[in-house]
Chain A
Amino acid sequence: MFELLGIPPQALFGQLLLGLINGAFYAMLSLGLAVIFGMLNVINFTHGAQYMMGAFAAWLMLTQLDIPFWAALVLSPLIVGLFGIVLEKVMLKRIYHLDHLYGFLLTFGLALIIEGLFQWKWGSSGAPYPSPIPGGTNLGFMFLPTYRGFVVVAALVICLATWYGIERTKFGAYLRAATENPTLVRAFGINVPRLITLTYGLGVGLAALAGVLAAPIQQVSALMGVNLVLVVFAVVVIGGMGSIMGSIVTGFGLGLVEGLTKVFYPPASNTVIFVVMALVLLIKPAGLFGQTK
Chain B
Amino acid sequence: MVEALLKVDDLQAWYGESHILHGVGFEIGHGELVTLLGRNGAGKTTTLKSVMGIVEKRTGSVTFEGRQLVGHPSNEIARLGIAYCPEERGIFSSLNVEENLLLPPVVKPGGMSLAEIYQLFPNLEERKRSQGTKLSGGEQQMLAIGRILRTGAPLLLLDEPTEGLAPVIVQRIGEIIRQLKSRGFTILLVEQNFHFAATVADRHYVMEDGRVIDMIASADVQQNIGKLQTYLGV
List chain A positions with a Cβ less than 8 A from chain B: 170, 173-174, 176-177, 179-181, 183-192
Contact = CB atoms under 8 A, between A and B. Distances in A.
Interface of B: 52-54, 73-75, 77-79, 83-84, 86, 90, 92-95, 99, 102-105, 107, 148, 151
A174 B73 CA distance: 18
Contacts of B107: 189
Contacts of A173: 95, 99, 102-103
16 contacts: A170-B102, A173-B99, A173-B102, A177-B92, A179-B94, A181-B92, A186-B74, A187-B52, A187-B53, A187-B54, A187-B78, A187-B86, A188-B75, A188-B84, A189-B151, A190-B75
Contact of B105 (A179, A181, A189): A189
A189 B103 contact: no
Nearest to A178: B92
Contacts of A186: 54, 73-75, 78
Given A189-B107, A189-B151, A180 B92 contact: yes
A183 to B, nearest CB: 6
Majority-rule SS of A interface residues:
helix
A191 B54 contact: no
Contacts of B95: 173, 176-177
B94 A177 contact: yes
Given A180-B93, A184-B86, A188-B75, 17 more contacts: A173-B99, A173-B102, A176-B92, A177-B94, A179-B94, A180-B94, A184-B90, A186-B78, A187-B54, A187-B75, A187-B86, A188-B78, A188-B103, A188-B104, A189-B107, A190-B75, A191-B75
A90 B116 CA distance: 45
B105 A190 contact: yes
A176 B133 CA distance: 14
Contacts of A185: 103
Contact of A176 (B79, B83, B94): B94
Contacts of A191: 75
Given A170-B102, A177-B103, A192-B75, A187 B84 contact: yes
Contacts of B151: 188-189
Which of A179, A181, A189, A191 has the most B CB atoms < 10 Å from its CB? A189
A181 B75 CA distance: 14
Which of A170, A176, A177 has the most B CB atoms < 10 Å from its CB? A177
Contacts of B78: 186-189
Contacts of A170: 102
A69 to B, nearest CB: 37
A287 B99 CA distance: 27
B76 to A, nearest CB: 8
A176 B93 CA distance: 9
B104 A189 contact: yes
A193 to B, nearest CB: 8
A188 B105 contact: yes
B51 to A, nearest CB: 10
B97 to A, nearest CB: 12
Closest A-B pairs by Cβ, 10 of them? A189-B78, A188-B104, A176-B94, A187-B74, A184-B90, A177-B92, A189-B79, A173-B99, A186-B75, A191-B75
Contacts of B99: 173
Nearest to A195: B75
